[in-house]
Amino acid sequence: MNQDRPSSITDKRIRFDSFSGTEDALFPSKKQRLPAMGWNSWNAFGSGNTEDLTKAMVNKIKELGLDEYGYKYVVLDDGCYRPERVNDHLESDPVKFPSGFKAMADTVHAAGLKFGMYNDIGDRLCSGAEVGIYKHEKIDCEDYINWDIDFIKVDNCYYMWDNATFSNPENAIYSYAPNIKLISLAGTTYSAVKDAEITGTRASVKDDYVTFIGTFDGTAPDHSPVGTRSSELVFEVEIDEPNVYELVVSYASGKEEGVGRWLQIAVNSDVVFDEMLPETESPETFTDSAPIKLKLVSGFNKIRIMNHRRQENTLNSYTEIRKELENFGKDRDIVFSICEWGKTQPQNWGHNVGDSWRILNDITFQVGADGNNGTAAWECDYTTSITSQYNKAVIMDEFAGLDKGWNDPDMLVIGMDGITETMCKSHMATWCMMNSPLMLGMDLRRVNKSDWMYNLITNEDLIALDQDPLGVQAKRIFTTFKCDDPSTEYIRDNNRVDVLAKPLSNGDIALAFFNLKQEEHSDKISISVDRIINSIGHKLTPSAAENFKNAASYQLKDLFTKECKVTSDKSFSIDSISACDCVVYRISPLA
């Protein structure tokens, strides 16, 4: 077991309380950029990608002209490194990439494309190769800059400070506060259950103590990303005399999801304690902490018992990498793709350091190989399907934006086995509506001009939605599933049709009807102009919203059939929609 411990956090901008703040940015140089587009080796070839295959993909991108549609980044995913360092440096796998990474970058750049690589905040990659970036931030980032990378995807396996994939499950000691029963302060004892407020949605009362003080693990699709996902225990204590007081916490530690050993204490917004407590006999054997000194003011003081380290440690690790990339490559323009699978609610903090953040575990675990298309799925109980990823991403629009970055529901699975052309069509359309990064994941040698895959991935009208300069992710404004608020409710029952609306920079609105069911929906669905404007009008300029609302008529362009029609109706409808299908209109107000 790793005997280290998470580093102390001295930069307030990495603290939970600063996650939403933008006044004092961690990286003022961070660009406002649209979602990245390109090809990534993982879904196509898994760990089996090679120099020859990558060159073939580069050639095919040029032959198909995919770069002219925006697909610029060629990213080497896991499986490309020699599985151990050489003189502390990363090297390419000598069998798969015998010419090395710089030569690969040169090949990609010579084709007018951009070159991307992969690493991990832990001490190993997900493949097990012992070349994770932890404790090698400087040396690796200098190498990455020397190799001329334009993009880096950073994974989360073998992470030391959380129970991430392949990490020690007992790393939960860092992720959660201990169970808390009582605190004693200035001669008074306060009950965690009776005298404190539990904030957020994670913690709960068990018998006479409070447990699960921390945040959800968002890797699996079980929890909504919306709302306050972490919990604190807050005591409001009235003090007569301003002074330094001693606080004693009655706690019991554990090492599993929900109960750990790391405790943070804040008085109002000042974190005054941020350390590991001694282990107790069991998660229900309570003991008193050593006295902790708190400086309190007269009147009411909020004493916050918490542990936000699950999020702060991960942000800190990504920050270290970005800092070094900027240090060695001051003038370089590198896309930073966070891939911690939604584990630590990156929608709260990802915008501080990255250009996009994965929201769940992988969209498929049946990736392809040379000669094998791999397999994807339309729906499943876990993350490994198009609808699993969609169902979470579709309610995350408020976390994304040009000034933040993008939710990443994982790479495209178009062209894999197990899904139909119609499913792929809806996959592409919804990813574009949701401003997702568009990373192709098929063996491009299978794609030919004018075949259905080519036509889909080069649908300029759809790509224009993804890359619209206004940079606003679509909002779900209606669903046939009964719910109170379609824009925020986490719905995993796929027996429904959703309607998404997306404001565009020229005052148009994109409207998508998406049938998640594997059967036809034969009832008419109508969406009024008022509903659209009430839901997303505030994302347009006031004049554009008024213009749309009061237009005498509208042009509707079907972005798949390219048919245009003009209507003076104040609602837009479909009479029916096929199984797993998607109908997308670009609606332009006419004078």
Partner 1 sequence: MTREQFIQRLLEVFKEDTSDVFSNGLEKGWLEFEDQLYRDDVITRKNIARIIHMYLLKQKRIPDLQDISKAGELRDIYDCRVCAKHVAQIYLRGIMGAKELSAKGGFLWFDLNGEDDDHSIEEYLIRAYGITKEIG
Query: Which residues in this chain contact partner 1 in the complex, by CB under 8 A?
Result: 46-48, 78-79, 82-84, 93-96, 126-129, 157, 165-166, 220, 361-362, 365-367, 369-370, 372, 375, 377, 380-384, 417-418
Distance CA 73, CA 134 (A): 25
- Residue 281, classified by CB atoms within 10 Å of its CB into exposed (0-12), middle (13-18) or buried (19+), is exposed
Q: Which segments of 497-552 are extended strands (E)? A: 497-503, 509-515, 525-528
Residue with smaller CB distance to partner 1, 82 or 255: 82
Residue with smaller CB distance to partner 1, 380 or 556: 380
At its nearest, how many Å lie between partner 1 and the CB of residue 411?
12
Which whole-number Å values give the CA distances from 407 to 91, 143, 564, in the listed order? 31, 28, 31
At its nearest, how many Å lie between partner 1 and the CB of residue 100?
14
Q: 3-class DSSP state for residue 129? A: coil
- Dihedral Cα 204, 208, 214, 218, nearest 10 deg: -40
Residue with smaller CB distance to partner 1, 79 or 225: 79
Q: Which segments of 451-568 are extended strands (E)? A: 475-479, 497-503, 509-515, 525-528, 553-558, 564-567
Kindly state the tokens that stand for 270: 């000042």
Residue with smaller CB distance to partner 1, 367 or 584: 367
- Residue 445, classified by CB atoms within 10 Å of its CB into exposed (0-12), middle (13-18) or buried (19+), is middle
Distance CA 81, CA 118 (A): 9
At its nearest, how many Å lie between partner 1 and the CB of residue 273?
33
Residue with smaller CB distance to partner 1, 377 or 499: 377
At its nearest, how many Å lie between partner 1 and the CB of residue 514?
23
Residue with smaller CB distance to partner 1, 167 or 435: 167
Distance CA 430, CA 422 (A): 12
At its nearest, how many Å lie between partner 1 and the CB of residue 93?
5
Q: Are strands 553-558 and 564-567 parallel, antiparallel or unpaired?
A: antiparallel
φ, ψ of residue 325 in degrees (nearest 5): -60, -40
424: Cα within 13 Å, side-chain hemisphere: 23
Closest CA to 252 of 213, 214, 279, 212: 279
Residue with smaller CB distance to partner 1, 255 or 304: 255
Q: What's CA 330's distance to the chain center, in Å?
A: 26
At its nearest, how many Å lie between partner 1 and the CB of residue 410?
11
At its nearest, how many Å lie between partner 1 and the CB of residue 366?
5
At its nearest, how many Å lie between partner 1 and the CB of residue 47?
6
Residue with smaller CB distance to partner 1, 131 or 499: 131
Closest CA to 510 of 475, 542, 541: 475
At its nearest, how many Å lie between partner 1 and the CB of residue 381?
7
